[in-house]
Chain A
Amino acid sequence: MGEMNVVGDTNEAASTGEVAGLDPGEAAKILEQTKRQARRQFDPRSVLAAVVGAGVFLFGYGAVWWSMRDQHVYSGPAGWSLAVLYGLIAVSAIVGGVALSRANAGVSGRARRQRQAQAAAVAAAGVGAWVIEGALRYRGVSLEIVYGVYGPTVPLVALAAAAAGINAMRESWLQLGLCIAIIAVASVSTFFGPLGAWGLTGLGCCLAMLAYAAALVVQQRRA
């Protein structure tokens, strides 16, 4: 530790708290408490972020559904509803980002680089799905399909599928379950047209996120 620019204490045994004859029971208690605290502090999963994510689906997707509910012929969502949706997505990204940066503060190395590469893979899946959405419109596919059905579901399925693969590899079963639930809800909702795609995806994914948040609370309390 010669590199550290901190002067060591002169009376080490006294100042560093070296306890002669530390009781094994006390040592076991310290070990378990420290393990729990460390796991909690390094855990990037956030119940708050999950609840905010549920809010995005309920109120964001819900706002778009609400603005289109009386349309007999598809004319697209109202501008205000898209503002609500993207505003909530931004809030969700900030909450998730804060939780992630808190957990990863001061952490570096190979495993962190792997996580960054995995995040890039998930982002690429999302970007690819959005590019295809643009291509479909360019090729003359109707607005109803491109923005009404594909828009709220397929990018979500692509993101969730990429995340599912990563979570399966990590054996993160709770997150894997969430990803599969999102894929199932979003893909089935496409059968019900634009209203179904926005409404059912919003409601179903909100419930999935809330169930995930509840399971996360239980898991973190047990840990």
Chain B
Amino acid sequence: MTTNTLVPLDPLIHVPARLRILVTLAALNAGDTLSFTRLQSMLNLTPGNLITHLRKLEDAGYLTSEKNGDGAGSTTTVALTTRGRAALDAYTEALRSLLGGLAS
């Protein structure tokens, strides 16, 4: 039996790398940020690849980034926004309803 109701899946999130980025950031405690390098090593993405996805997610307001310092010692941190967390929750709910029971 198939459902006739199309559940919208956020196309911005419905990409493996971006889904993994959001889920990883959502695993942090609220108010915490993650360094670009740690995120990159956790997801095993190239810097160019990761930054492209981060840029799209930041443009949508799903995450924020902040650069601290200058030159070689500079670090960039990223964090999920409230909007990003809500979008991920909505995406997870949509997936659940599509698949009929994704483990919470």
Question: A residues touching B (Cβ–Cβ < 8 Å)?
Answer: 1, 3-9, 12, 15-19, 22, 24-25, 27-28, 30-32, 34-35, 37-39, 41-42, 105-112
Contact = CB atoms under 8 A, between A and B. Distances in A.
B51 A108 contact: no
Contacts of A41: 42
A27 B95 CA distance: 8
Interface in B18-74: 19-20, 23-24, 26-39, 42, 47-49, 51-55, 58, 65-67, 74
B103 A27 contact: no
Contacts of B65: 1, 3-4
B87 interface: no
Contacts of A31: 19, 23, 92, 95, 102
A109 B51 contact: no
Interface in B64-104: 65-67, 74, 76-77, 79, 92, 95, 98-99, 102-103
Contact of B16 (A7, A22, A37): A22
A34 B35 contact: no
Closest 6 CB pairs of A and B: A106-B38, A110-B31, A106-B35, A111-B29, A38-B27, A3-B67
A119 to B, nearest CB: 15
Contact of B48 (A15, A28, A30, A39): A15
B51 A4 contact: yes
A111 B54 contact: no
Contacts of A1: 51, 54-55, 58, 65
26 contacts: A1-B65, A4-B54, A5-B74, A8-B48, A9-B48, A9-B49, A16-B15, A16-B49, A19-B15, A22-B16, A25-B99, A31-B23, A34-B23, A34-B24, A35-B26, A42-B27, A106-B39, A107-B28, A107-B32, A108-B35, A109-B31, A109-B33, A110-B30, A110-B31, A110-B32, A111-B28
Given A8-B55, A12-B52, A106-B37, 5 more contacts: A6-B51, A32-B103, A37-B24, A107-B38, A112-B32
Looking at chain B, what size class is its interface with the partner chain?
Answer: 35 or more
Contacts of A19: 15-16
A38 B28 CA distance: 8
A108 B95 contact: no
Highest count of chain B CB atoms <10 Å: which of A42, A106, A112: A106
Nearest to B49: A16
B15 A35 contact: no
Contacts of A106: 34-35, 37-39, 77
Contacts of B37: 106
Given A4-B65, A111-B31, A34 B49 contact: no
